[in-house]
Structure 1
Amino acid sequence: MSSSCHCRTSLKETPTVGKPAKQILPTLSCLLSGLALALMPKCPACVAAYIALFTGVGLSTPVAGYLRILLVILWSISFVFAISLIIKRRWLSWSTH
């Protein structure tokens, strides 16, 4: 019967569980944010029409315009956050080598 002790192995030799998922999530959020921003209607009347179509709530054109600007700002912040996570993780992985 052969038993081997793994208490002296380094942390780099042990397999990491869930590492691909941690790398995919920031990339996926970045791609989804960019896709949502690209598919965002350009005119306030279209934004109001989409909101009325999907929710049943009617908005005036000026309110839909402000909502569009708010959504663009939120998606841009999400995009920058996802990119910063990707850069941070790559920087940490390069610095450990």
Structure 2
Amino acid sequence: MMFLILSIMGLALISVLFPRHTSKETRDNTINLIHMFRDYLHYHIKCSKAYIHSRMRAKTSEFLKVLNRARPEPKITEKKTITGRTFIRKE
């Protein structure tokens, strides 16, 4: 009996290889399956990270919109009349 440990991003995945997996007839297929599983796992981890980052960017942009709407107006504003003349309103 042989143990195979794959360590990915701090997590350990343990699989057990029995003598039938290491016989001459099935050894190449076993190695191929282990490599394909590793690639499959890495692909899905990258996709999950990309999805999480896109959601975080969307939430950040929504939060910035809320913050910009809550910004107070300046106290002294320069206004224009209908004729185009400007005046400063003092409060």
- Provide the TM-score with structure 2 as the length reference: 0.46
> Which structure: larger Rg?
2
- Provide the TM-score with structure 1 as the length reference: 0.43
Structure with greater strand percent: 2
Q: Which has the higher contact order (CA 8 A, sep 6+)?
A: 1
Structure with greater helix percent: 1
